[in-house]
Structure 1
Amino acid sequence: MKKYSYVGISFVILIFGIWAVNELSNRLSGPDFYEGETVPDFSFTNQHGQTITNKDFEGKVYVLEFFFTTCPSICPIMNQNMKKIQDSFYGNPEFGIASITIDPQHDTPEVMKKYAENYGAKHPHWHFLTGDKETIYKLSNEGFKLYTAEEESAPGGFEHSGLFALIDKDGNIRSRYDEFGNPKIYYNGLEDNEIEMLKEDIKKLLK
């Protein structure tokens, strides 16, 4: 009788141990996160005239946005919030930001450098990227499925999303699930509560 009790207790301890290990793994690796598509290869020029590719972000958790420097509507809010994110992870070599212009004809590296300085972009891995327009639009519309287009009637002459993409160290798009169990996929770069969510999720992916 004692033998069976001992076996039963051992089994319970084993099950509890397996559960505890799995729970710890969940907290550290974030398997409750949605894992989307791998970011397509890209190669652009940053504000310092350097060629930056997706390979430069390998081993880093980074946030990606599409914007343009003369945007009179949502871009200033987006980049004020991106600055807050930068400040939360400033000095962390495993964190980065990719801000890709959708108006490369105007947004040269020189223009982007001044814009970056105006927004206090000091993190060495915050890259303001410009390049071939067709390539940028293909990356946005097809690679990320984030709508981008020229539109004369839109503020500043362009339409684009105010969403931020969160990308893990392996180059995969990640996000948390919403209250209905659906993946958010992207984070609203205009909403304070979404920025706080994004900060929390960056921390989890950095672990």
Structure 2
Amino acid sequence: MFKNKSYIGISFIILIFGIYAVPKIIERLQSGHVIKGNRLDNVNSGSNTGDKLVEIGSAPKFELVNQNNVKISDKNYLGKVYVLEFFFTTCPSICPKMNQSMLILQDKFFGNPNFGIASITIDPVHDTSEVLKSHAELLGVKSSNWHFLTGDKSLIMNLANKGFNLYAAENEKVAGGFEHSGLFALIDKKGNIRCRKDEFGNPILYYDGLEKTGVRDIQQDISILLAE
């Protein structure tokens, strides 16, 4: 008899809870609020594509000559979002992959006048405007905003190492005689270097031009900057 009363009491409590709670749950489901608890919000708070990209500082100024023997400076890129790399045409290692990654970016944003690419050679003695023009044609470059740039060797090395902090050096012991970073710099319409944050909330500074994830990330962030 006592057990039966206990069961009746428990059933009554469950009934009262259901009358109170079920309408609340239904209301939250209909409004979409059920998925907006604090813990779920915190899981998504580190999303790179949803966060404002970090501003690293102004990109260094430069004036070089492109594949058409035309002077091109940083001012030509003002008002455009652009990606910058250091490479050389006879590179037997990472440069072909970097160029292929740039082709992906070209094709992704082709036809957008507010997007550009700067590919600066670190071997200007060999990579004249004529050589760079042939290289661009070989790659299948079709964007008028993709400039292959050459100029004074010491100026370019200084631009790479001190201006952008993207390593480049002459080294007779390595294949091709030069070594350099495989990273891409992303510059916004105002001439500022921009980047996303890593999973720990730290600026990544530059994007890996050799990895699919790096190319994917920079595509996403170019789109963000183009929309600003």
TM above 0.5, yes or no, is yes
Shift of residue 31 of structure 1? 6.2
Counterpart check, 1:56 vs 2:76: yes
1:81 maps to which residue?
101
Among 87, 97, 111, which residue is 2:117 paired with?
97
Cα distance in structure 1, aligned partners of 2:192 and 2:119: 17
Residue deviations 1:150-176 (CA, integer Å, cap 9, x gap): 001112000100000000000010000
> What SS is found at the alignment partner of 1:169?
coil
> What SS is found at the alignment partner of 1:159?
strand
- 1:25-174 to 2 correspondences below 5 Å: 32-174=52-194
Cα distance in structure 2, aligned partners of 1:137 and 1:170: 24
Query: What's the % identity of the aligned pairs?
Result: 61
Aligned residues: 179
Cα distance in structure 2, aligned partners of 1:115 and 1:91: 21
2:46 maps to which residue?
none
Letter in 1 for 2:157: Y
1:179 maps to which residue?
199
Letter in 2 for 1:205: L
Residue deviations 1:53-105 (CA, integer Å, cap 9, x gap): 00000000000000000000000000011000000000100000000000000
Cα distance in structure 1, aligned partners of 2:153 and 2:183: 20
RMSD of aligned C-alpha atoms? 1.2
Residue deviations 1:26-62 (CA, integer Å, cap 9, x gap): xxxx762110121111000000010000000000000
Counterpart check, 1:193 vs 2:216: no
Any runs of at least 4 consecutive aligned residues in structure 1 with deviations exceeding 6 A, and if so which?
none
Cα distance in structure 2, aligned partners of 1:175 and 1:164: 10
Cα distance in structure 2, aligned partners of 1:64 and 1:46: 14
1:9 maps to which residue?
none
Cα distance in structure 2, aligned partners of 1:59 and 1:129: 19
Letter in 2 for 1:66: F
In structure 1, stretches of 5+ residues that fail to align are: 1-29
Letter in 1 for 2:205: I
TM-score, length basis structure 1:
0.85
Letter in 2 for 1:105: V
